[in-house]
Amino acid sequence: MAVISQRAHKISPSPTLAITAKAKAMQAEGIDVVNFGAGEPDFDTPQFIKDAAVKSLAAGFTKYTPTAGTADLKKAIVEKLKRENGLDYATNQIIVSLGAKHSIYNAVLATVDPGDEVIIPAPYWVSYPEIVGMAEGKAVYVDADESTGFTVPIEKLRDAVTPNTKMLILNSPSNPTGGVYNRAQIEQIAELAVEKGFYVLSDEIYEKIIYDGREHVSIASLGDEIKKLTITINGFSKAFSMTGWRLGYAAADKEIVSAMAAIQSHSASNLVSFTQPAAVAALNGPSEVVGAMVSEFDKRRKHIVSRLNDIRGITCAMPGGAFYVFPNVSQLFGREFNGKKITDSDSFANYLLEDAKVAVVAGSGFGAGNYVRLSYATSMECIDKGLDRIAEAVAKLG
């Protein structure tokens, strides 16, 4: 019968992309929406990176490249991982794909069999459970709640491990909470993974967006045994403000990378040819570019947290990394305005969008229904305008 697959039935579209699209569509209609939805830096891609792509396009670098990426790009990634993360990989342990999301998808498909358990700390980034679901794996959620800085205590993690555990997804700094695991915690996780023999998918896309002198620790750098079990994921979207370019990569054991390349060779082939020299330029470019972005994010972080905490009924922890705040809005549940009752994070997010013209993402999609997520990768002016509106909308709730 001509009906869509069971698999497709189970997938819901990405709520982060949906809210971003909705806010942008409203803006295109001339509606003055303040957009805290998008998880994308508001800065333009640095000029020297754009120049490298233009140069390569003009030079006719427009044909298929090797599936896993050009030799130059893989070499630049190997050097980056060594220089910045203390990781020793060979070029045949690197695969470049169409965004970190695509790398995660390929990695999960290459390692997770139907019925395998994948431990996902909650709150989690929206795409992890869906990708695990597409591989017919079983997502096992473990609380990484506010009381522990949005990180999972090792005992809880140990309790969640069963003989069917195939993988843990680690995301530090975290989207949506900004939680950051310290070295001791990462060491404990590495020990557990080695003891029990499960993979760690370490999504390090926010590694550079980290505050107050915190240290980002790449779990694979902690020893050969854990390195063999780890798939390190990274990309260009956040650190270099290149969300639309679709450039991400994975580093892992050769066997895993070969399996990922085989999957990619039948689905996407290579990533866009003329973006690859630009990615090399980004990795080899001046580090001040990223530093300047992070110090601007840091100012916004402190400002938005203080403004949110000034609103009665909202409490917001100070995130240690990434560019999201994740305020608890559950004290507002049960209140209403003009017949619109706030019952959960979705109804609150809808209320803000419709009545205050402010886009935020409901926490439900991240597995945390008492929260909403605001991205502060937007200007200070927008932050103030949006917070004025939220404060007014909340004050109206009876």
DSSP 230-257: EEEEEESTTTTT-GGG--EEEE--HHHH
CB of 242 to ligand PMP, least distance (A): 8
What's at 80, amino acid-wise? K
Q: Which backbone phi and psi does 36 adopt, to 5 degrees?
A: -100, 10
CB of 231 to ligand PMP, least distance (A): 13
351 binds, options ligand PMP, ligand GLU, none, Cβ within 5 to 8 A by partner type: none
Whether the link from the prior residue into 121 is cis, omega within 30° of 0, is no
Q: Which of 165, 171, 232, 370 binds ligand PMP (CB under 6 A)?
A: 171
Contacts of ligand PMP in 314-373 (CB under 6 A) = none
CB of 14 to ligand GLU, least distance (A): 5
Residue whose C-alpha is closest to residue 178's, from 371, 344, 348, 343: 371
CB of 262 to ligand GLU, least distance (A): 25
Angstrom distances, CA of residue 393 to CA of 32, 33, 357, 370: 16, 14, 10, 18
Contact 151, 178 (CB under 8 A): no
* Integer Cα distance of 214 and 190 in angstroms: 19
248 binds, options ligand PMP, ligand GLU, none, Cβ within 5 to 8 A by partner type: ligand PMP
Beta carbons within 8 Å of 58's beta carbon, 6+ residues apart: none
Q: 175 vs 177, which CB is nearer to ligand GLU?
A: 175
Q: Which residue has the tokens 């209609």?
A: 29
* Per-residue x/- track, 123-142, ligand GLU (CB under 6 A): ---xx---------------
| 39 touches ligand PMP (CB under 6 A) | yes
* Integer Cα distance of 213 and 366 in angstroms: 27
The closest residue (CB) to ligand PMP is: 99
Q: Which of 56, 67, 243, 370 binds ligand PMP (CB under 6 A)?
A: 243
CB of 239 to ligand PMP, least distance (A): 10
| 330 touches ligand GLU (CB under 6 A) | no
Contacts of ligand GLU in 36-75 (CB under 6 A) = 38-40
Strands 230-235 and 361-362: unpaired
Question: Which positions lie near ligand PMP, rule CB under 6 A?
Answer: 39, 99-101, 125, 171, 175, 203, 205, 235, 237, 243, 248
Question: Which positions lie near ligand GLU, rule CB under 6 A?
Answer: 14, 16-17, 38-40, 101, 126-127, 175
